[in-house]
Amino acid sequence: MPEPAALLSFLAHWEDQPFQPFREGVEICPLWQGEGPDVALLRYAPGASVPRHRHTGLETILVLSGTQSDDLGDYGPGALVFNPAGTEHRVWSEPGCTVLIQWERPVEFLD
């Protein structure tokens, strides 16, 4: 677990992190992969989306900028969203957004 000062520094400079292509219109910056949950930043271009999928483990999202939307609503900066195992939804961002995401297991795409 990072030291509190390192976490505060990261949160102040997350926009400077390197991103790579993930899906059309979505980029990823992996932060932790390996034993335990994976953690990454996802950056959605305006209008980008992720097709309907089912969670096979808990997914936790913290919206850092912009607005992320799913079938249940719209989530702005500071929103904390929990998607338990077994839940299904589509995800999109009309204005674009960046989220901090943690997931226990990969999702199953349904579309």
Instruction: Specify burial of residue 110 (Cβ count, 10 A radius: 0-12, 13-18, 19+).
Output: exposed
Strand partners, 66: 97
Residue 34 covered by a domain: yes
pLDDT digits (tens, 9 = 90+) for 8-55: 677 778 888 899 999 999 999 998 888 888 899 999 999 999 999 999
**CATH code, domain carrying 60:** 2.60.120.10
Q: What is the CA radius of gyration of the chain?
A: 14
Confidence (pTM): 0.88
End-to-end CA distance of the chain: 36
Residue 69 covered by a domain: yes
Dist CA 40 CA 102 (whole Å): 7
Residue 6 covered by a domain: no
Specify the number of domains making up the chain.
1
Residue 3 covered by a domain: no
pLDDT digits (tens, 9 = 90+) for 51-101: 999 999 999 999 999 999 999 999 999 999 999 999 999 999 999 999 999
Q: Which domain holds residue 40?
A: 26-109
